[in-house]
Amino acid sequence: MNELRPDEKWYFKTPILILAFLCIGPFMLPLVWFNPRLDVKNKVVISIITVIVTIILSAILVRSLGSIAEYYNILKQSL
């Protein structure tokens, strides 16, 4: 990766991309693909990692919600 040139935008800086990934997940991918400092190989790798992490976290969320629903059903039956 090349250094940030003075005429480049603040939202192409690496810390901003990391923060965007942590806050909004896959919605940060347009920032990656429009980033002039990254080559296509890096863009593809970042995209694949983002999609995999999103799928894993979605599966964890679904399982967690299922467990919570099961817990509340048991609690409802005991009342």
> What is d(CA 36, CA 58) in angstroms, rounded to the nearest whole number?
30
Dig out the tokens for 20 from the structure.
Answer: 């965007």
Q: Which residues contact 36 (CB under 8 A, 6 or more apart)?
A: 8, 12
Q: Distance of CA 26 to CAs 3, 7, 29, 42, Å?
A: 24, 26, 6, 16
- pTM for the full predicted model: 0.77
- Residue 79: its pLDDT value, please? 83
What are the sequence ranges of the domains in the chain? 10-78
CA distance 37 to 48: 18
What's the confidence (pLDDT) of residue 9? Answer: 87
Q: Tens digit of pLDDT for each residue in 35-79?
A: 999 999 999 999 999 999 999 999 999 999 999 999 999 999 988
